[in-house]
């Protein structure tokens, strides 16, 4: 059976982007962020391709995502960004999944699991230096370190924090976060720990700043050819995701015809309107209504009328050669044309991260290999 809509993932472009990130980080180790099914690109396929590129670690949100990578044979270290429930400590040990640690209950559970297995389990200590999200606050650090010093089967293998404003490269807050991070690392060392990995950078941090203390970076969006922020348009990153559908019908409508729910578009002339069986249930955002463009035969064509659950409509009046069955590119490249994640996100008042996650997770994926 044929599904009309497809996500096409270009693994050669992914690998190109990874090399750009590697070069920007001075050929030092990289943790490739493959959480949320690799931002909709497919975590297993992405992790396999980036294992070939010798990515040093992978980052996922949850233990279930890590277990999926292990089941697929990914053997590199895997870091869990959102920690884990203490009940899962034994499984983390067995599957060699390393949590970012911001919860002492989990530390105690890991200690017990490590003791039962005769192993010392690694964690990356997560410090909130200004993201205001997950992490131990610097003022909690003494108590945290004292607790961890008493847990023989847990080892601080890394110290990590996350940048809140790195996409705004001139913002001095990032330097403040780094200073706080460096001071915390010093306290960790003074307490007798010797963390191997120190890391702070997401994509904008990696491409826009240098943090001398850090020996690992965690790029995500840049690997997928997304835009890490306005200052990064010059980067040589290639789009990885393409989203296509096909024209199902072309209708001739007289001037004054209302189109789609609410008649939010009314034809001003005798028009040709193409119906394409893709909509918000496929992750194509409803908010792009009357704003988006798509590519057909390499040409930009206007989307008109409300985006439906399973349909969008295109004004093809000026393109009478368009036929039923023609490929419609909603995201990505068609010939010389490109609808970037950033452009589609702009029409939808969101960010390319969300566009990739929504579209990538809802449609059959096909992989183009290098
Ligand atoms: C803790 C952490 N590190 C790194 C990243 C990767 O960020 P980016 O996709 O901006 O490169 C994320 C993404 O949200 C994250 O949550």
pLDDT in tens, 199-246: 999 999 999 999 999 999 999 999 999 999 999 999 999 999 999 999
17 in ligand 1 pocket by Cβ < 6 Å? no
162 in ligand 1 pocket by Cβ < 6 Å? yes
- Residue with the smallest CA separation from ligand 1 atom 4 is 202
Domain 241-368, what fold? Lyase, Ornithine Decarboxylase; Chain A, domain 1 (2.40.37)
Per-residue pLDDT band at 175 (split at 50, 70, 90): very high
Q: Which residue has the higher pLDDT, 170 or 70?
A: 70
- Residue with the smallest CA separation from ligand 1 atom 13 is 220
Please tell me the pTM assigned to this model: 0.96
Cα 326 to ligand 1 centre (Å): 37
How far apart CA 145 and CA 190 sit, in angstroms, is 10
Domain boundaries, the chain: 57-215, 241-368
- The stretch 140-166 carries a mean pLDDT of 97
Cα 303 to ligand 1 centre (Å): 32
Cα 357 to ligand 1 centre (Å): 14
Q: What is the mean pLDDT of the chain?
A: 97
How far apart CA 250 and CA 227 sit, in angstroms, is 35
Cα 51 to ligand 1 centre (Å): 19
* pLDDT tens track for 73-91: 999 999 999 999 999 999 9
Residues marked active site are found at 35, 261
Pocket test for ligand 1, best of 55, 80, 202 (most atoms within 8 A of CB): 202
Domain 57-215, what fold? TIM Barrel (3.20.20)
Q: Are 188 and 195 a contacting pair, CB within 8 Å?
A: yes
203 in ligand 1 pocket by Cβ < 6 Å? yes
* pLDDT tens track for 102-141: 999 999 999 999 999 999 999 999 999 999 999 999 999 9
Q: Which atom of ligand 1 is nearest to the CA of 203?
A: 11
How far apart CA 314 and CA 259 sit, in angstroms, is 10
Pocket test for ligand 1, best of 25, 200, 220, 354 (most atoms within 8 A of CB): 220
pLDDT at 153 over 70: yes
Residue 1: the pLDDT is: 86
220 in ligand 1 pocket by Cβ < 6 Å? yes
Cα 140 to ligand 1 centre (Å): 24
Percent residues over pLDDT 90 in the chain: 98
202 in ligand 1 pocket by Cβ < 6 Å? yes
């Amino acid at each position: 059976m044929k599904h009309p809509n497809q996500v096409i993932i270009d693994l050669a472009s992914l690998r190109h982007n990874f090399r750009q990130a590697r070069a920007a980080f001075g050929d030092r180790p990289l943790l490739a962020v493959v959480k949320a099914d690799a931002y909709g690109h497919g975590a297993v396929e992405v992790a396999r391709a980036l294992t070939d590129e010798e990515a040093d670690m992978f980052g996922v949100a949850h233990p279930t995502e890590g277990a999926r990578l292990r089941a697929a044979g990914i053997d590199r270290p895997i870091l869990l960004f959102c920690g884990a429930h203490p009940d899962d400590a034994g499984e983390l040990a067995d599957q060699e999944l390393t949590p970012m640690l911001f919860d002492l209950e989990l530390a105690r559970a890991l200690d017990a699991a490590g003791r039962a297995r005769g192993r010392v389990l690694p964690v990356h200590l997560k410090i909130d230096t200004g993201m205001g999200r997950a992490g131990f606050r610097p003022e909690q650090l003494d108590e945290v370190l004292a607790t961890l010093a008493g847990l023989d089967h847990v080892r601080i293998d890394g110290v990590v924090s996350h940048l809140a404003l790195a996409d705004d490269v001139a913002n001095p807050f990032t330097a403040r976060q780094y200073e706080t991070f460096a001071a915390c690392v010093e306290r960790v060392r003074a307490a007798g720990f010797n963390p191997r990995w120190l890391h702070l950078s997401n994509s904008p941090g990696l491409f826009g700043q240098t943090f001398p203390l850090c020996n690992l970076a965690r790029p995500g969006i840049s690997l997928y050819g997304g835009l890490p922020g306005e200052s990064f348009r010059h980067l040589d990153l290639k789009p990885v995701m393409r989203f296509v559908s096909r024209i199902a019908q072309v209708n001739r409508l007289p001037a004054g015809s209302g189109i789609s729910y609410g008649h939010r578009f009314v034809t001003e002339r005798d028009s040709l309107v193409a119906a394409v069986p893709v909509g918000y249930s496929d992750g194509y955002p409803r908010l792009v209504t009357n704003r988006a463009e798509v590519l057909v035969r390499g040409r930009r064509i206007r989307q008109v009328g409300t985006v439906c659950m399973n349909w969008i409509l295109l004004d093809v009046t000026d393109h009478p050669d368009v036929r039923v069955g023609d490929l419609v590119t909603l995201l990505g490249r068609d010939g010389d044309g490109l609808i970037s994640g950033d452009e589609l996100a702009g029409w939808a008042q969101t960010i390319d991260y969300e566009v990739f996650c929504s579209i990538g997770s809802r449609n059959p994926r096909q992989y183009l290999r290098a």
